[in-house]
Amino acid sequence: MSSRKIIVLNASDNVGVVISNLSKDEKITIDGEAICAISDIDFGHKIALKDLPIGALVKKYGVPIGVITQQVHAGEHIHVHNMESLYMKQFTK
């Protein structure tokens, strides 16, 4: 890759952090595996590195940061619409 588009903070993570806006259908390579962005994903947001079923733990920094609430495919944007806190709900407008 000429420039990094996503970073994976810990080897055990199942999401990457987008550090340069991704367009729908854009292909990125992580550890030799190609992933295709299913939608536009903005800077700072998370992308699924693999398919994740409902109930799967989302891992970032090597630790669980929440649980999947809707089936997610590799390359999909992971955010408040398909995951939630294991602790408490959040305020969003």
Partner 1 sequence: MLKGYLRQDGKKGIRNYALVAYTVECAHHVAREIQYNFRDKGVHVIGFHGCAPNDYANQMMQALCTHSNVGAVLIVSLGCENLNKEALEKQVIASGRPAKTITIQQSKGSRNSIDIGKAWIKQQVEILQNTPTVNMAMDELIVGTICGGSDATSGITANPVIGKVFDSILEQGATAIFEETGELIGCEHIMAERASTPELAKQLVKTVDKAKDYYMKMGFGSFSDGNAKGGLSTIEEKSMGAYSKSGNSKIKGIIKPAICPTTSGLYLLDVVPDGEPMFGWPNANDNAEIAELIACGSHVVLFSTGRGSVVGSAVAPVIKICANPETYNNLAEDMDINAGKILNGEATLNEVADELEQCILNLGNGKLSKSEELLHQEFQLAYKKFNQLEPGCLPG
d(CA 58, CA 15): 7
Among 34, 36, 54, 63, the residue binding partner 1 under the rule CB under 8 A is 63
C-beta of 9 vs 26, nearer to partner 1:
9
Cβ at position 29, least distance to partner 1 in Å: 17
* Nearest CA-CA partner of 57 in 10, 13, 24: 13
Cβ at position 85, least distance to partner 1 in Å: 4
d(CA 37, CA 81): 17
d(CA 25, CA 28): 10
Burial class (CB in 10 A: 0-12, 13-18, 19+), 54: exposed
> Does residue 61 belong to the site contacting partner 1 (CB under 8 A)?
yes
| Per-residue contact flags (x/-) with partner 1 for residues 3 to 42, judged by CB under 8 A | -x--x-x-------xxx----------------------x
C-beta of 71 vs 85, nearer to partner 1:
85
